[in-house]
Structure 1
Amino acid sequence: MPSFDIVSEIDSVELRNAIDNSNRELATRFDFRNVEATFDLKESTAKLSAEDDFQLNQMMDILRGNLAKRGVDANAMEIKDAIHSGKNWYKDVEFKQGIDSLTAKKLVKSIKDQKLKVQASIQGEKIRVTGKKRDDLQQVIAWIKSADFEQPFQFNNFRD
């Protein structure tokens, strides 16, 4: 019976490269000359620090551009509020890994609402979709790509 898995993952190497490229771009930009501004990556959280709130917004634009160049979906970002501490401003950007239970339930319900002959089941941080026909599974993939769930999904482990 054909099946595939729906997952939400970010390539950590590409994320690291995007952060490094953003730091390099900060070093070359004229408007950030003599300004303490950095991007730091810890696990799946990027910490932006700058001297002004406006500069944080510019840094977010730089980060989004570099993520797009590296093929990392910007929908995976969860942007926290800016914090002013001392003379610097800080902003945390968390990158979502895996499908949380609320999103998984919403996704399974919407797959069932499509009235296709497939079964969707939650298995940890992924969703397994099985069906009798490969065409039904491909319709599910096409529908999920067109729907907006505010999180990027990948499809792997496709089996006939």
Structure 2
Amino acid sequence: MASEYSFDVVSKVDMQEMNNAVTQSLKEIETRFDFKGSKSDIKLENDQLVVVSDSDYKLKSVVDILQSKMIKRGVPILNLEYGKIEPASGGTVRQTIKLKQGIDQENAKKMNVLIRDSKLKVKSQIQGDQLRVTGKSKDDLQAVMSLLQGAGLSLELQFTNYR
């Protein structure tokens, strides 16, 4: 039996599932009556999405469709960082949406403080874009998991390498 247990707190977007959500969204846009003849499109480029449509209203509808497909596929929508809506060529509007991968330093520090203030007998340390939590009791680790899930952070958390 191990004397120390640990897990990693990460925040990642599964790019294959994201690609599937974009593909499904584009199929729905093609078949919907209110988008007939519109120039609506979604492109996935590296770690960002580019959404293009005829007007602000249609752009927001495209983003809503994308979010619903992401939720159905289990892709976290909290990890989206929306840019401003800007005019594009051909009388269209464009919005860039960044996909947040990993935990930024600010959120990692907040989580560290939350864990320290909880008075649980665990240690946490920042390791790049993830957080490692170690402790002697599995119950304490599970308490940390539920604490972090209920903390209301601005990103979706996953717990990996539970040992």
Query: TM (normalized to structure 1)?
Result: 0.97
Q: Which residue of 1 aligns with 2:103?
A: 99
Report how far residue 138 of structure 1 moved. Answer: 0.7
Q: Which residue of 2 aligns with 1:45?
A: 48
Q: Which residue of 2 aligns with 1:130?
A: 134
User: SS where residue 75 of structure 1 aligns?
Assistant: coil
1:1-160 alignment, distance < 5 Å: 1-86=4-89, 87-159=91-163
Aligned equivalents of 2:56, 2:137: Cα separation in 1: 53
Unaligned 5+ segments in structure 2 are none
Aligned equivalents of 2:156, 2:33: Cα separation in 1: 34
Percent identity over paired residues: 37
Runs (4+) of structure 1 moved beyond 6 Å?
Answer: none
Unaligned 5+ segments in structure 1 are none
User: SS where residue 128 of structure 1 aligns?
Assistant: strand
Report how far residue 85 of structure 1 moved. Answer: 2.5
Query: TM (normalized to structure 2)?
Result: 0.95
User: SS where residue 93 of structure 2 aligns?
Assistant: strand
Number of aligned residue pairs: 159
**After superposition, what is the alpha-carbon deviation per residue over 1:84-112, rounded to whole angstroms, capped at 9, x for unaligned?**
12311000111110001111111111110
Report how far residue 60 of structure 1 moved. Answer: 1.1
**After superposition, what is the alpha-carbon deviation per residue over 1:24-62, rounded to whole angstroms, capped at 9, x for unaligned?**
111001011011110000012111001111110111110
**After superposition, what is the alpha-carbon deviation per residue over 1:68-95, rounded to whole angstroms, capped at 9, x for unaligned?**
1111111111111100123110001111
